[in-house]
Amino acid sequence: MNSMGRTQAAETASEVSWLALSKAYPFRTLPVEIVNEIFLHCLPSSDEEFQPTPSKAPLLLCHVSSYWRSAAMGDPRLWRRLTLSPKRLLHLASIEPLSRTAQEMVDQAHMWLANVKDLGLELDITIPHSHSSSTVTDQNGVVSQRPTFPEIIDQWRSFIMPVLVKQAGRFKALQLNYSFPAVLHSFFFGEEQDVLSKLESLTIKGDQLQISNTDGDPSNMSKHWVPIQRFAVAPRLTKAAILVKNKSPFPHQLPGNFLPWPQLTHLMITMPCSGSFWKRILQLCPNLMAAYINIEHSVVPEDCDPFFPGTGHIDLPRLKTLDVTFHDEFASAYFDDFRFPVLNHLLVACDFGSGFPTLTWVHPPPPRNDNCFLGLRTLISLTLSYQNMNEADLLAILGQAIQLQELILDSYLGDHKTFFQALVVKPHHESSDPSLEIAQPILPQLQVFKFFLEYASDVPPTTFDEEDFLAMMASRSEVARAVVNRFSEEPEPESKPQAAGGAELAKEENGDEKDAVMGDGAGAPISSTTIDSNPTPTETSLLHAKRVARLEVPPISSLITPIQQVEISTNAEESSGFKQLERFDRGLEKYNKDRGIPEQVPAQFSFLLEFSNPSDWALQDSEPQWF
């Protein structure tokens, strides 16, 4: 056979071999680019931990075949995230388990770093608190010393030095979870400081933050005091979350160059700092888009405010989300020095401990005559939590928030009736006279309203009337309006006689005002408030509608966006004060059922009445929302 024949035979044999292989292993015939895309869908979801376990991708993919291993290890995208969280180091009888675990973590980190190449690693590390005091006795009665704290620190250094210190320039995101800051001393203050050149996101989560090289270690007091500057130079860092609660006496401030403030777009610090500290820092953050801060002593005479720019106030021109928790009573005055021209989401909570503080929001003290809250016309979401609110102040703020879509109130209102009646939207009647000015309803874009009703020692607030709440809903939603208008068609559940017995029942049978309002029998539907606060003789108040002529709630105004979600929660121990709202809830369920709306399909209007505790309502989440 000549050379040409041998070549053709070899090609034919290769083709036959490839066809046979493709039938046995069809996955190998796919281009590696497609294989890699398939592998990406095998990774844990973004909210799961990326533990280095053989039962999950990407390690799982490496144990199928040599082809899969080669494809998986050749795609850096599969190795972008790594979670190192040792679970069995809380009770150490010897140093050996910690030594072995630290070395395993080093090997795992190096494997991920080798495979991720230049893409940048998102590393999440948890260093557990290992109980090391006293001694331990085994089953044979042999007593041995547990590892000492210095020994534990030294073992963790065997991981921190080769990974955190020497590879610092390769981390794209870094989350450090720890109990004692001393374990990270070599990373925070070590002489070998590689620049965090790729770092974009930083989270530090622990009981305390070591802000200087002598903190928490009396033996170090002879050293030259150096503040923490590990993150001062990080050219790509834009998101930082410092989730610590320092136990040191106040004030315990962060160093001025702790972070590269001017480049930050997202910032969350749960460690309470003084109001003046935050004024100094926020002036340095012109690019900030989201801020979650805690303020301890917002007004402190001995803590001087910074010099303000020529405008006389601090402008945050890009800030869209502001979440503030105050720990004193001076919250409202604190904001007088700020301007938020594009703010969309505002949450203000008070963690005061000794009750709800009463804040004055609208009237700043002399000589100031301006107020930043009266200019928040870009606000989309507002949450006010754990404070006493004056309804006049609140309505003044809401009157300016013409774009507000979500309102969450977890505060005690002085006058619920005035507030809810103000939220009732009057019917809009078209006029042929263009010279007549049409009054703009309050909160015309409101779509979500959540309200917590506080009972103080089981005593209901005297100004709350559930009929005001019903009237507000009926004036803002055609569905709620339809449910309210059907109240006269739905028999009210029989109630048990109270102590007054016959007198109470007689009032109900003879058309007690409240039952007439609720439209029992052939009567009119509900509302404790009039649709027009100044009715003319030709207009009929919903509250005083006669039972003989069933008056329907008029259609909602064309000037508003219909509300879509309403929730009311309360810490009341029993539901006797919410019978009409419970009736509305049942009526809404029947309304949706009659129209064949499946439960899994989002409803045009939803309502929730819940008896719960407010503790988890609106205080800052423990984790930032941008991750």
- Write the pLDDT tens digit of every residue in 63-96: 888 888 999 999 999 999 999 988 766 556 667 7
The count of domains in the chain is: 3
pLDDT at residue 215 above 80? no
Q: How many CB atoms lie within 10 A of CB 88?
A: 10
Predicted local confidence at residue 139, as pLDDT: 59
Tell me whether residue 191 is in a domain: yes
Structure confidence at residue 200 (pLDDT)? 97
* Chain mean pLDDT for the chain: 76
Between vectors from CA 579 to CA 503 and to CA 561, what angle results, nearest 5°?
A: 135
Cis ω on the peptide bond leading into residue 58 (within 30° of 0)? yes
pLDDT at 252 over 50: yes
Report CA Rg, the chain: 33
Reported as a pLDDT band with limits 50, 70 and 90, residue 298 is low
- Is residue 483 domain-shared with residue 587, that is, in the same domain? yes
pLDDT at 190: 80
In a domain, 89, yes or no: yes
Two structure tokens written together for 441: 């309803």
- Lowest pLDDT segment from 355-369, 438-452, 564-578: 355-369
**Paired tokens of 123:** 């590393």
Instruction: Say which residue, 86 or 526, is predicted with more confidence.
Output: 86
| Least confident residue range of 2-6, 119-123, 183-187, 437-441 | 2-6
Lowest mean pLDDT among 6-20, 28-42, 219-233, 399-413: 6-20
List all residues 6 or more positions away from 523 whose beta carbon is below 8 Å from its beta carbon: 488, 511, 515, 516, 545, 547, 550
Above 60 in pLDDT, residue 627? no
**pLDDT tops 90 at residue 330:** no
pLDDT tier at 475 (50, 70, 90 boundaries)? Answer: very high
Residue 348 is predicted with a pLDDT of 86
The mean pLDDT of 150-173, rounded to a whole number, is 92
- pLDDT at residue 501, as a whole number: 41
Is it the case that residue 245 has pLDDT exceeding 80?
no
**What was the pLDDT predicted at 367?**
46
Please state, as a whole number, how many other Cβ atoms lie within 10 Å of the Cβ of residue 373. Answer: 23
Q: What is the mean pLDDT of residues 551-556?
A: 71
Please check whether residues 124 and 59 belong to one and the same domain.
Answer: no
Pairwise CA distance, residues 580 & 337, whole Å: 45
Q: How far is CA 23 from CA 16, 29, 71, 120, 215, in A?
A: 11, 9, 20, 38, 66
| pLDDT band with cut points at 50, 70 and 90 for residue 212 | confident
Statement to judge: residues 63 and 111 lie in one domain = no
User: Do 60 and 128 belong to one domain?
Assistant: no
Task: Encode pLDDT of 476-509 as tens digits.
Answer: 999 999 999 887 555 555 544 444 444 443 444 4
Span 281-285, average pLDDT: 91
Query: Which of 187, 128, 134, 189 is closest to 161 using CA atoms?
Result: 187
| Whether residues 48 and 108 fall in one domain | no
Q: What torsion do the CA atoms of 584, 589, 591, 594 make, to the nearest 10 degrees?
A: -150
* Residue 129 sits in the same domain as residue 162: yes
Residue 306 pLDDT level (bands cut at 50, 70, 90): low
Query: Are residues 589 and 473 part of one domain?
Result: yes
User: Is 248 a residue whose pLDDT tops 60?
Assistant: no
Can you give the pLDDT at residue 177?
92
478: domain range?
448-490+510-616
Q: Is 52 exposed, middle or buried (0-12, 13-18, 19+ CB in 10 A)?
A: middle
Residue 14: burial class (beta carbons within 10 Å; 0-12, 13-18, 19+): exposed
CB atoms within 10 A of CB 290: 21
For residues 238 and 269, the model is more confident at 238
Residue 86 lies in a domain: yes
Average pLDDT over residues 530-559: 50
Say if CB 161 and CB 153 are below 8 A apart. Answer: no
State yes or no: pLDDT of 539 exceeds 50: no
pLDDT value at residue 241 = 93
pLDDT winner (highest mean) among 417-421, 462-466, 553-557: 417-421
How far is it, in rounded angstroms, from Cα 472 to Cα 420?
6
Same domain flag for 37 and 86: no
Structure tokens at 288: 């900030």
CB 368, CB 362: distance < 8 Å? no
**Residue 53 included in any domain:** yes
CA–CA separation, 202 vs 171, rounded Å? 10
What secondary structure does DSSP assign to 11-68, as a single string? HHHHHHHHHHHHHH-GGGGS-HHHHHHHHHTTSPPTTS-----TTSTTTGGGGT-HHH
- Residue 434 belongs to some domain of the structure: no
In terms of domains, do 29 and 130 share one? no
Is 349 a domain residue?
no
Same domain for 458 and 559: yes
**Per-residue confidence (pLDDT) for residue 116, from 0 to 100:** 96
Same domain, 68 and 88: no
166 pLDDT higher than 90: yes
Higher pLDDT, 178 or 602: 178
DSSP character string of 365-407? PTT----GGGG-TT--EEEEEEEEE-HHHHHHHHHH-TT--EE
pLDDT recorded at residue 508: 40
Q: Around Cβ 223, how many Cβ atoms within 10 Å?
A: 12
Region 31-41 average pLDDT = 89
Let me know whether 98 and 37 are in one domain. Answer: no
Tokens linked to 383: 């949450």
Using the 3D structure, point to which of 24, 41, 74 is the last residue of a domain. 74
* Domain annotation covers residue 283: no
Confirm whether 232 is domain-assigned.
yes
Q: Pick 139 or 29 by higher pLDDT.
A: 29
Q: What are the structure tokens assigned to 452, written together?
A: 């917590």
Mean pLDDT for the stretch of residues 226-233:
84
Longest dimension (CA), the chain: 119
Cα–chain-centroid distance for residue 96?
41
> What tokens were used for 96?
């050996």
Using the 3D structure, point to which of 174, 202, 236 is the last residue of a domain.
Answer: 236
